[in-house]
Amino acid sequence: MKGAIVFLVVFAIVLLATLASTSIPPGKAIYNAALPNTEQYTSTYAIAGTNAYVLIIAVFNGVIYAFIAWLIFTLIMMVTHRNEKPQNIKQVVNVNVGKDNSPPPPPPQNQ
């Protein structure tokens, strides 16, 4: 759960930073490799106050940098929590089945 929060926070920060400046690598390089010769079409398509070209590059950068941050966070958490001992929890559950609504029998007493 903490890893998802790290991913989303880094994604949002990098997305906003890339919307301000599209020169942050590797978004533009990935865009040109994955969608060659489409800049002329996406740069004229407006989405949420910006064009699709900038938004696509920002999403590419956000996903890449957020994944790297999540991976680093996960590895650090694995290393730091490796020496912790797992908890042993014992629990007894009594289940009454049928029409008899009598209380469960008392636990055995050790003498």
pLDDT for res 100: 65
Q: What is the mean pLDDT of residues 28-36?
A: 93
Q: pLDDT digit string (tens) for 66-108?
A: 999 999 999 999 998 877 777 788 888 877 676 666 777 788 8
The pLDDT of residue 49 is 87
Residue 50: both structure tokens together: 């910006």
Cα dihedral value 94, 96, 100, 105, nearest 10: -10
> For residue 19, what pLDDT is reported?
94
CA dihedral 11, 16, 17, 20 (to 10 degrees): 150
Tens-digit pLDDT profile for residues 34-52:
999 998 998 889 988 899 9
Could you tell me if 31 and 56 are in contact, meaning their C-beta atoms sit under 8 angstroms apart?
Answer: yes
Cα distance between residue 14 and residue 36, in whole Å: 23
Buried b (16+ CB within 10 A) or exposed e, 14-46: bbeebbeebeeeebbebbeeeeeeebeebeeee
* Side chain identity at residue 32, one-letter code: N
3-state secondary structure of 18: helix
Q: Looking at residues 5-21, what average pLDDT do you find?
A: 97
